Homo-oligomer: A and B are copies of this chain.
Amino acid sequence: MQTMNFMDSMFFFIESAQTPMHVTPLLVLKPDPEHREGFGVSLYRKLQSKTTVVAPFNWRPRFSLTGKHRWQEVAVDLGYHLRFAAVPAPGRQAQLNELICRIQSQPLDRTRPLWELYVIDGMSDGTVVLYMKLHHALFDGTRINGYARKMLTQSPVHNDWVPIWQHEVYAPQPEAPSSGRLRTSLEALGNTLTQARMLPQAMRLGARVFGGALGMLPKRSKTPLTAPRSVLNTTPARGRSFASQQWSLERVRAIGKLTGASFNDIILTCGDMALQRYLSRNHRLPDKPLVVLMPMNVRQPGDMTSNNQFVPGLVELQPPELLPLPRLKRIQAAATDTKNEIREFSPALYEKYGVLMQAVSMIAGKYGLESKLPASSNLVISTVPGLAEVRYLMGAEVVQVAPMSALPPGQCLNISAYTYNGKVCLGFLGCRKVLPDIGLLANDMDRALDELELAALTQPKTSLFDRYLPHLANKRVSLHSNPEGVILKQRQSTGVR
């Protein structure tokens, strides 16, 4: 039996009937016209025939009162995990979204290995959907991408593909130190601190975090310590709402080239703009800017160990009165601050603090205390760089990927972005009670990209002055009458539908 590491066991601890902690990516397959008839059944039968199941797809969790949770290898009833389903008439996106929301809102069975895979038939456009439900304790976005890379073939004629549960890519994690208890993590933190070289860093970080929490040091704090109360910060009910979007990756890259912003910066900015518009509609925009929890991958390239390896970075979004480009600049700066802070304090140390801070707020959410404690973030935005070129499964082209993650306690919105074959695939997962009209948010996100793109394309070209004397750029900008593009609040709010 494998022991379970702390972060992995946290996913079980915060999991409840309201907040199942699984990741549920979706692949849309388009078979050739001559193979379209019965493709869903054929794919399901083919998968059924692949009965060998390797780790971690044959692992079930074994919980211990001592906190030493473990993974146990068990025999797998493949017919339970592999499921054939269909959307009802008229077989369009709305019916698919309904179905996957129902599947998403149901926790996995902890007495069995923690995955389900659905072949979904009945789409009117002849596509067949492969929908995976994988527990976050074993699978994060980066790891799932690794599995997708192995399972999906680069040519349609490639026929000897193997399903995700047959890939021997798992590298066992070290036996120690690992445990399922907060206390033990604190001990581990203590152990880390006793390593002399980390002590000064830890003291600075501790002073910042706890000083900030007590209302001290507000000026020195670059990354936010608490998030404003918002409609997004209740513990979600059981129902889910979902919407997806696809963008051309080229458009995002062009904006990046014109503005110097990263992919993540652009996603964050579009998310900010979309949420401004979406929340303003019902006057639900909080007074302070929203704070995004953005998991930052700290996995080394090629590392396919199963446990979760990300640092929860917090990025503050911006106030409503900013125009797109200044908003992007500021978010870029905020994200850079977060990254620098992670670097400054060493990933290991920052992760432990970050995990503890998140743990406190998630545990608060679990016990319904989220209204008593300040939230640490308002929503999750995660990005995973995916597969660059077109892929196939059993000869059918993967025409779309929709990332779909989990809603932790106390949070009602998760936006995920995944790049595939020159496209940016966006998935919006929400609590059905709080965000029943999440499709509007997806449209707002699309509109935000249009606006940001237009702003980037029509901005004045960078002058030689900017290029060769960048240290003077700030002074030059200050000569403008409206350096940050602040517009009158009045005008902005009339512009909102």
| Residues of chain A at the chain B interface (Cβ within 8 Å) | 17-18, 38, 40-41, 44, 77, 80, 83-90, 95, 98-99, 102, 106-107, 109-112, 119-122, 237-239, 432-433, 436
Contacts and interface: CB of A to CB of B under 8 A. Distances in A.
A134 to B, nearest CB: 17
Contact of A88 (B86, B102, B107): B86
Contacts of A86: 86-89, 122
A84 B17 CA distance: 23
Contacts of A17: 17, 107, 109-110
B83 A98 contact: yes
A51 to B, nearest CB: 15
A26 to B, nearest CB: 16
Contacts of A88: 40-41, 44, 84-86, 119-122
Q: Chain A contact residues: over half helix, strand or loop, or mixed?
A: loop
Contact of A111 (B40, B90, B237, B436): B237
Contacts of A83: 98, 102
A119 B98 CA distance: 14
Contacts of A120: 88
Nearest to A432: B80
Contacts of A121: 88-89
A476 B80 CA distance: 57
B40 A109 contact: no
Given A41-B90, A237-B109, A98 B84 contact: yes
B237 A89 contact: no
A95 B86 CA distance: 10
22 contacts: A17-B110, A18-B111, A41-B90, A44-B88, A77-B432, A80-B432, A83-B102, A84-B98, A85-B88, A86-B86, A86-B87, A86-B89, A88-B119, A88-B120, A88-B121, A88-B122, A106-B106, A109-B238, A109-B239, A111-B237, A112-B237, A112-B239
B99 A85 contact: yes
A98 to B, nearest CB: 7
Of all A-B residue pairs in the complex, the 6 with the closest CB atoms, nearest first, are A109-B238, A86-B88, A86-B86, A84-B88, A106-B106, A88-B121
A6 to B, nearest CB: 24
Given A83-B98, A88-B120, 19 more contacts: A17-B17, A17-B107, A17-B110, A18-B111, A38-B89, A40-B89, A41-B88, A41-B89, A44-B88, A80-B239, A84-B88, A84-B98, A85-B99, A86-B86, A86-B87, A86-B89, A88-B119, A112-B238, A112-B239
A460 to B, nearest CB: 49
A41 to B, nearest CB: 5
A18 B108 CA distance: 11
Contacts of A110: 17
A177 to B, nearest CB: 30
A29 to B, nearest CB: 15
Nearest to A116: B102
A80 B238 CA distance: 10
A106 B105 CA distance: 10
A238 B108 CA distance: 9
Contacts of A41: 88-90
Nearest to A81: B239
Contacts of A98: 83-84
A241 to B, nearest CB: 10
Nearest to A119: B88
A109 B107 CA distance: 12
A229 to B, nearest CB: 21
Nearest to A99: B85
A51 B88 CA distance: 21
A322 B237 CA distance: 54
Nearest to A107: B17
A112 B238 CA distance: 9
A190 B324 CA distance: 73
B80 A84 contact: no
